[in-house]
Each structure stands twice: as C-alpha cells, then as structure tokens.
A and B are shown apart, each in its own frame.
Chain A
C-alpha cells in the first residue's frame, strides 16, 4: 500500500545520455510530505539531473517517478504541480518583478485581483514589499534570488525544487538566505528538494540528505547520521573533513590502522579489511609516551577558531583540529576515543592510484609507461592537429588541470619475484587466508597499499613486484 505520508517517490531512476554517459544510475528515494531533502554531491554527480527529472525538464531513461502515488512519466513540466528555483534564477529580463511573479498564475488564468493579492503576499514573504514595478536588472543578486523564490512559491507548488539557489551569492548573503529558506520551509510546510555541492549548507538546512556520487546514491540519512556514521569512504571524505585510513581488524573491537592499534566500538571479524574514519576534531594530542601512535608535527595553520595541525606518523598523515597550539617538528602522541573512531567494512578492495600525464598525453605510473592515452580514456575526446586535446564539446583539455584515477581489482594484479617485471615494487605487510585464496596487502615504495588476491602463499615482508595489465584498468577523470 502507498504510504500516505510519501509525496514523491523515485523508483530505480536511470538517466543515460545519447553518448552513453549514465548521469543517474538506479536512483531510489522516498520523500515525505513537508520534508526538506537535499541532494548533495560533487559537480557531475547527477544531482541536478535528478532534480530536472522531477521537474520534467529531463526524461528518465528508465524508472518511475510517483507523485502522490501517480506516475509523472510522460507529463510535461507545465502540467506538474512542482516549481523550480533555477541556479542562476532565470528571471524573465523583459518583465518587471510583478510580471515575473505573476507569470505562473497568469498561465492558469487566475483572476487579476487574486494575482495582485498573491503577488503582494509572496513579496511580503521574501521581504521585498513594494518591489512590484522594479525591473529585474535593477535588483541585486540577493534580491533576484528572492524574486526567483517568490515566483516559484506563488504557485503554491506541492514540491519546491531548488537547484543550487545560493551558489551565486557571497558568503554572508548565503548564510542569511540559508536561514531564511529554512524559516520559509518551516512556515509554509511545502516539501523542499534542494540541490547543493556545499556540505555545510546541506547539514544546516536539511531534514534528510542524499549523498550522491557518479550517478549513484552513496547514503541517505539525517545530517547527524551522515556526519557521524558515514557508510563509506566517499561520504566520510565529502562530508566534513576526515582522516581516512585503510586497516584491518586485529581482534575483538580492535583495529589496526595508521600504524597503531586502536580500540573501537564497531565489531568485525578478525582479519577483515576496514576503512577507519577519524574526524580531525576528535584526535587528541598527548605526550609522546601516552599516545596510541606517535608522530612529528609537519604543519600548523591558524584557522581563527582553532589550529589545524598535520602530524606525520610513519607513512601516514593525521590532520588534527585543536585549540592548543603546537610547534612544527614537535614529537607528539595522538589518541582517539573508541566511540570517535568510525570503522566500516572496506566495501571493495579496488586499488586506486593516480597516473601521471606526460607531455605526449600518454599515461605513466611510477616511471612506467601505460599503453593507453588520454583520447582513449576521455569519452568523445580527440587530438587536434596543433597537438591540443579537446573533449566532445570542443573545449581544450589542459593536462595540468586534470588527474587520471586508475582503478584495478585485486584479482587482476599479479605478483612476481622479478623486481623489474612489474609497475611498482613493495613488501607484503598483511596476509589473510580467504578459503580459496590469500588476500595480501602490499605496501609499496610510494607509501601506498595495494590489495592483491593470489592463490599462492607468500610470506610476510616478501619483496614483490606488481604486474597490472592495462586492459584490466579502469580510468576516470578527476579535476585538480
């Protein structure tokens, strides 16, 4: 049965563009009436596309969108009881404030006196009384923003969609508008679906946050859930600042990461690969002998409310926020309360590393040449005669502005004794028997851990070279 409280439901929404790019992949969401839901993610994560599909401006390739239990698929945007506040407001420049706000009501043939009354009321709501006759170009960015909100709200939509509405405002204005939007939401009781890449904005305003990355939902939850209990490394990294470590369970409620063994409150079987997340504000600096781990202060930055201290411990780095100052070069101990260590299953053991781009647009890793090039990796890109590489829209790709993230599965890496045969060398720092194969952690000379599955037994501290076939690698583009 349909839940009465659910206003809109997205069922396995997928949006694939003509060029095969999946902007949104199997997106599921239920929004309750009156909720403030935020789609949060980096640019290109599919959050705006999802919003546009709710508005009807984009059509999903598959899946269904239900409003009050009825499908919206096939319904054009002008027939949906949903209104949008656009990213750059999209106010009609040839109309004054009154005409802009009245636009929606006029389409519905609402009588003039009712329009007048509603426009006055909504202008009052956004604190711009008496602005009816003003031209759009005479308004400041903040005022245009308010008019854009008023223009959407005056139609009394069932759902208000907001596409990064505060993106063009300066910081102070943004904070003010965040509060105002939140107040408006509380007063009106309209369901808000809000899109932003600003995690602080999302945490401040939302009842529910949907964290997205690469078209997929990463986590859905309240701001507290998302912040305190991130479900994976991406969420932990994206929401707030985090120290993220790969590690392994060493016993009951004990985990080893960052070169030390910590007590924790999440229980996994001994030997399980884990990802440990520690918030910078949760690390306590102690005397060296009292710390769980010991390190050297590498940098201290004064941030007004606190110091941000980076401590290097062995091959790891820990970022710490504290009100106490420290000096660069100090030897310090660090400890973290067990409840402040968030341990989660390493969801997969995909190895990831960044490849370099040489001046011939070819990829290199650790001084070894990878048999592929940028044009093969970036969809629709091509090399021009003058040597530049352009993407499918013809824009120049600047090799210095991008990084290529290479992913390879543990099964696809082979280990060899012959040190010159592989791309990178390292020593085996961990091994677990997994029934039919061994899972190894190889600590490389570049201070990076690789997970490799192999059916043969190697010994701890064996020095091996890793062979990674290029055809098994997956590449993705990251901006610097």
Chain B
C-alpha cells in the first residue's frame, strides 16, 4: 500500500471524532432526552421558563459585558502605546503583561483574593465587582495580545498619509488606526467575552456565591442531572456560534496572539 498525504490526516480525523464529534453527539442526545432515554423538549422549555436559570443567563451576560468592556478599555491604550513605541525592549514590556499567565491560575486568584480581602473586608459584599475584577485580571492578556498584534501590523504609511491629507493626530486615530484595529478588537472580545460567561472557578475561588452560566452547568452535573446540564451547555454553544457568526473574522489574530502565549 502506498503512503499518501491523505493518510497523514487520519490521526487528526480520529482525534476530531473522539474528542469533538462524539461528545457533541452525546451532548445533543442528553439535551433532548429524559432519564428514560425518550425524546423530550422539557429541558429546553424548563430553561426558558425558570426565572432562576434565565436570571443566571442575564447575570452572566452582564458580567461578561462589563469584563469585556473593562478589558478593552485597559488593553487598547497598553497595546497602542506598546505597538507605536520605538523602545528596543518592547517585547520585554509586552512580556510583563503576559507574565501572570505563566503563574498558576489558582495561585494568582488566591493572591488576588487576599488583596481584595484587605481592601473590601468582606468579599461577599461586592460579588459583581469581585467577579469583574477577578476575570479582568485573568483575561486581560487575551485582550492585549491580539490588539498588539493588529496595531503593530498596521502600515505606518497609512497614518502618515492621513496626516498628509489634513487629519490631525486625533482624527487620524479615529478614522484610520481605530477602524483598522477592529479585527484585533473582535478577536480580543471573543477571547474574553465567552470565557467570562462560564469561568465560574474564578467566582468560586473568590468565595463568590453568585451563579454564572458555568456554575449553573456545574451544579446540574453535580446533582447528576445530565440532561438539564447538557441543554444549558447546548444553549451556550448556540450563543457562542451566534456571536462568532455575527462578528466573523478575527480568527487569524486569535491564532497569532495565541502563538505568543
């Protein structure tokens, strides 16, 4: 038998089958069946009729929105200044922002918890604020990197052309740099927004008793309610797909940013 290039793809196909396709089929199967294995829409309807689950969805959405916005507002100036600067140690400074990611996640959050404890006294008093602070701390590099990559790649001649044509620095930024860095913004947002909806470990570790989508799924599974948990996962998946479809593109930037980590 001759060795063809196609056979190189076999391991990948097997991987996809076992770790992507199969779980997805199981997920869909569980989401639309009950304990007896019969088809049902009950899981779907109960999610949208239960004020608690809906409330959690909106609460998660709010946390994710605020976290993303804060990350964007913090990351853009950092990425912009770094990308525009001519300092030779640029990559070192960038590394300083990425460095926390190399420290164990639980250690980081525990340290943050101690700091917040000192500042706030009782952590339970500000669950929403703490969730946003924790997640911003955790996800900020994911916003900085794609933005930095996108802004660095912008052709400096475009800014010069804008200035040459009569635009001052502010107008040049608003009309040239900002619109052209949108792909970076999109990939940064998609890398922060979706984890922020589900990453309940951050909340747990900050002694936060509020529920986000991730905690909700976890609680269903913890109670052996595979069917309800699967349905919520599926709804999240649908939301993610919708979001990706709406924003389109940005994947290239994500990949590049990811490579830096």
With A90-B158, A92-B176 given, is the CB distance from A84 to B164 under 8 Å? yes
Shortest beta-carbon distance from A147 to chain B in Å: 12
Q: Is the CB of B163 within 8 A of A77?
A: yes
Chain B residues with Cβ below 8 Å from A107 are 165-167, 171
Chain A CB within 10 A, most for which of B162, B171, B180: B162
Q: Is the CB of B166 within 8 A of A108?
A: yes
Shortest beta-carbon distance from A75 to chain B in Å: 12
Residue B165 contacts which of A76, A88, A94, A104 (CB distance < 8 angstroms)?
A104
Q: Is the CB of B180 within 8 A of A155?
A: no
With A86-B157, A88-B157 given, is the CB distance from A94 to B166 under 8 Å? no
Shortest beta-carbon distance from A6 to chain B in Å: 23
- The A92-109 residues at the B interface (CB cut-off 8 A) are 92-94, 103-104, 107-108
Q: Is the CB of A84 within 8 A of B166?
A: no
Shortest beta-carbon distance from B186 to chain A in Å: 14
With A92-B176, A94-B180 given, is the CB distance from A57 to B165 under 8 Å? no
1/0 contact string of A45-84 vs chain B (CB within 8 Å): 0000000000111000000000000000000111100111
Q: Taking the complex as formed, is A256 at the interface, i.e. its CB lies under 8 A from any CB of chain B?
A: no
Query: Bound state CA distance, A157 and B75, in angstroms?
Result: 39
Chain B CB within 10 A, most for which of A78, A83, A93: A78
Q: Is the CB of A92 within 8 A of B163?
A: no
Which secondary structure characterizes the binding site on chain B? helix
1/0 contact string of B158-189 vs chain A (CB within 8 Å): 10111111111001000110011000000000
Shortest beta-carbon distance from B248 to chain A in Å: 15
Q: Is the CB of A78 within 8 A of B166?
A: yes
Size class of B's contact patch? Answer: 10 to 19
Q: Is the CB of A104 within 8 A of B157?
A: no
Shortest beta-carbon distance from B61 to chain A in Å: 30
Q: Taking the complex as formed, is B50 at the interface, i.e. its CB lies under 8 A from any CB of chain A?
A: no
Name A84's closest neighbour in chain B (CB-CB): B164
Q: Is the CB of B165 within 8 A of A151?
A: yes
Residue A90 contacts which of B160, B166, B179 (CB distance < 8 angstroms)?
B160
Q: Is the CB of A90 within 8 A of B168?
A: no
Chain A residues with Cβ below 8 Å from B176 are 92
Query: Bound state CA distance, A53 and B171, in angstroms?
Result: 22
Query: Bound state CA distance, A76 and B169, in angstroms?
Result: 10
Q: Is the CB of B161 within 8 A of A155?
A: no
Q: Is the CB of B157 within 8 A of A78?
A: no
Chain B residues with Cβ below 8 Å from A83 are 164-165
Q: Is the CB of B157 within 8 A of A92?
A: no
Q: Is the CB of B180 within 8 A of A57?
A: no
Chain A residues with Cβ below 8 Å from B167 are 78, 103, 107
Query: Bound state CA distance, A333 and B37, in angstroms?
Result: 106
Chain B residues with Cβ below 8 Å from A76 are 163, 168
Q: Is the CB of A92 within 8 A of B166?
A: no
1/0 contact string of B134-169 vs chain A (CB within 8 Å): 000000000000000000000101101111111110
Chain B residues with Cβ below 8 Å from A90 are 155, 157-158, 160-161
Chain A residues with Cβ below 8 Å from B157 are 86-88, 90
Shortest beta-carbon distance from A203 to chain B in Å: 28
With A78-B167, A93-B180 given, is the CB distance from A103 to B162 under 8 Å? yes
Chain B residues with Cβ below 8 Å from A93 are 158, 180
Name B163's closest neighbour in chain A (CB-CB): A77
- The A376-416 residues at the B interface (CB cut-off 8 A) are none
Q: Is the CB of A57 within 8 A of B158?
A: no
Chain A residues with Cβ below 8 Å from B179 are 94
1/0 contact string of A155-177 vs chain B (CB within 8 Å): 10000000000000000000000
**10 new A-B contacts at CB < 8 Å, known A55-B164, A90-B161:** A78-B163, A82-B164, A86-B157, A88-B157, A90-B155, A90-B157, A91-B161, A92-B158, A104-B165, A107-B165
Q: A residues near B, CB below 8 A?
A: 55-57, 76-79, 82-84, 86-88, 90-94, 103-104, 107-108, 151-152, 155
26 contacts between A and B (CB under 8 A): A56-B164, A57-B163, A77-B160, A78-B164, A79-B166, A83-B165, A84-B161, A84-B164, A86-B157, A87-B157, A88-B155, A88-B157, A90-B155, A90-B161, A92-B162, A92-B176, A93-B158, A93-B180, A94-B179, A103-B162, A104-B165, A107-B165, A107-B167, A108-B166, A152-B165, A155-B165
- Which 9 interchain pairs have the tightest Cβ spacing? A104-B165, A107-B166, A90-B157, A90-B161, A77-B163, A78-B166, A84-B164, A107-B167, A94-B179
Q: B residues near A, CB below 8 A?
A: 155, 157-158, 160-168, 171, 175-176, 179-180
